Amino acid sequence: MKFLSEKELENLSTVRLLAYKNKLMAVPEAPNWGDTIISRNINKSFPEWKTTYDNLKKILSNRENVA
């Protein structure tokens, strides 16, 4: 999974941001070393995940709602 920078997130449409949020939320809470679906066994404790998610929430809070 590629973690997007704040600038990259700002350039995405709201629909794309919501899709990316769903992808971020699919990341497991803790390492699951038996699961090879997610590369590098990324989990929500990674600093990169937390920073990306915080940036995403900040950007979405300023966007209009999508039906």
What is the residue whose two structure tokens read 């600038």? 7
Q: From CA 50, how far away is CA 58, in angstroms rounded?
A: 12
pLDDT of the residue at 33: 58
Per residue in 45-56, pLDDT (tens digit) is: 899 999 999 999
Query: What pTM was estimated for this model as a whole?
Result: 0.79
Instruction: For residue 66, name the pLDDT band (cuts at 50, 70, 90).
Output: low
Per residue in 8-41, pLDDT (tens digit) is: 999 999 999 999 999 999 998 877 655 555 455 7
Q: From CA 43, how far away is CA 22, in angstroms rounded?
A: 14
Which residues are CB-contacts of 15 (< 8 A; sequence separation ≥ 6)? 66
Q: From CA 36, how far away is CA 19, in angstroms rounded?
A: 22
